[in-house]
Structure formats: structure tokens, C-alpha cells
Amino acid sequence: MSLANNWSRFEQASRARFEPLAAQAREAWQRRTPREQKLLKGGALLLGVALLWTAGLKPALESIDNAHSQLPALQAQASRLNAVILEAKALDRGRSGAMSAEETEQALRASLGSAGLDALAQFGPHTDAEAGQAQWQVRFNNAPAGRIVEWLSSLPFVAQVQTRQATLERSVVDGRDRPGQLTGTIVLAMPSKEPR
């Protein structure tokens, strides 16, 4: 038997089965008053919207919420991983912890970027540095306190620097304190070489 013959037999069998049901449904619909028909249409529409919400939109919105809640933890893991990568690169080049001022500055800039603070910080040389002393100033403006603390704790893995000054306070925006947000300055310096 050909596929066309099978298909036509299937069509005939399905028509024979469903035409009486369709006729009964049409008769039942016509027996309803216009008000009942409106209510049934409204109920069907409401059921369709509920199914769309339950099967399509709600799971998608929950996935987005889960992604947003996991993002800070993933960013923290990424910054720790970047710190380890920086340390591995330094060890790979055979350094014993001694980096030049230029390399230290590059490493500090990269660590700010990996901590997600580069857009919230102004990084530059410290203007009040002693002659011959490499110092940098990092000015934060309304930055998350957790990220700043995590960045500071990762600095020993990034470069040999000392924190010379930290002046941080809770951010104030439009006259209101912002909990968990800090504004202020941190001064970092390369360790001074002690005479032997």
C-alpha cells in the first residue's frame, strides 16, 4: 500500500469519528444563550492565559531570577580565579615577588577590572608620594563594600603592595546613606627597600 492510500484511510476514519462529536459540539454551542457564549469564551481565554503563564512565562522569569541571584557569587569566583591566574603568571616568569613599579601598576589595574570595580574607581599615581617611592591612589565612588574588601584581600596574590592609607565611608546619595556602598580613597605603595 502506498503512503497516500494510508493517509486517505486515516483521514476518512478520523472524519467518521470526529464529525459526530463536532456536530454535537456545534449544537450544544447554538443552544447556549449569547450571555453564556460570552462567559464560555471569557473562561476559555482566561484558561489560555493561565496555561501560558504556568507553562511559558513563569518558568522563564524564575530562571532569570535565579541567574540574577547567582551572578554575585559567580563574579566573586571569577575575581578569585583572576587573582590566581595573575599569581601563576608572575610565578611562571620566574619572579620572586619583585615586580617593577610599572608591572605593579598594571597588575593593580587588572585586579580592579577583575573585581568589577574598574568602572567605580579612579586609579592613578598618588600626588603626595615621597621622591622615588611608587604610590597609587584608588578613589572609589559609591562602590559595593563587599567587592572593595574582597579586592583588598586579593592584593597579596596580585602584587607586593602595602596599604598606606584607607579613608572609606558609607556613600551618601541625595542626602541619604547607602548601606553597603562606600566612597573614599585607598593609597597603596610598594614596600620600601630596607638597607641591609
| CATH code of residue 156 | 3.30.70.60
Q: Mark whether 102 and 51 lie in a shared domain.
A: no
**175 in the same domain as 111:** yes
Does 86 fall in a domain? no
Taking the C-alpha atoms of residue 196 and residue 191, their distance in angstroms, rounded to an integer, is 15
Residue 70 located in a structural domain? no
pLDDT above 90: percentage of residues in the chain:
13
| Domain termination residue (choose one: 16, 35, 61) | 61
**Is residue 68 situated within a structural domain?**
no
Are the C-beta atoms of residues 177 and 170 closer than 8 Å to each other? yes
Give me the sign of the Cα torsion angle 64, 119, 161, 146.
negative
Give domain status of residue 80, yes or no.
no
Does 36 map to a domain? yes
Please check whether residue 92 lies inside any domain of the structure.
no
183 in Cβ contact with 142 (< 8 Å)? yes
> What's the pLDDT tens digit per position in 108-146?
888 888 888 888 888 888 877 666 678 889 999 989 988
**Eight-class DSSP state of 195:** P
- Is there a contact between 140 and 185 (Cβ–Cβ < 8 Å)? yes
51 and 102, same domain (yes or no): no
Phi and psi at 55, nearest 5°, equal: -90, -25
Does 109 lie in the same domain as 57? no
Same-domain pairing of 174 and 102:
yes
Q: Residue 153: left (phi > 0), alpha (psi -120 to 50), or beta?
A: alpha
pTM of the model: 0.50
Q: Are residues 164 and 112 in the same domain?
A: yes
In this structure, the answer to whether residues 53 and 107 fall within a common structural domain is no
Query: Does 196 reside within a domain?
Result: no
CB count in 10 Å sphere of residue 143: 24
Domain that holds residue 185: 98-189
**Structural domain count of the chain:** 2
Domain boundary among 61, 77, 110: 61
Select from 61, 85, 106 the last residue of a domain: 61
- Condensed to tens digits (0 to 9), the pLDDT of residues 28-68 reads 888 989 999 899 999 999 999 999 988 888 888 888 888 88
Task: State the Cα angle at 109 between 103 and 112, rounded to 5°.
Answer: 140
Is residue 134 one of the residues assigned to a domain?
yes
Q: Which pLDDT band, with edges at 50, 70 and 90, does 196 fall under? A: very low
For the record, the C-alpha cell of 79 comes out as 575575581
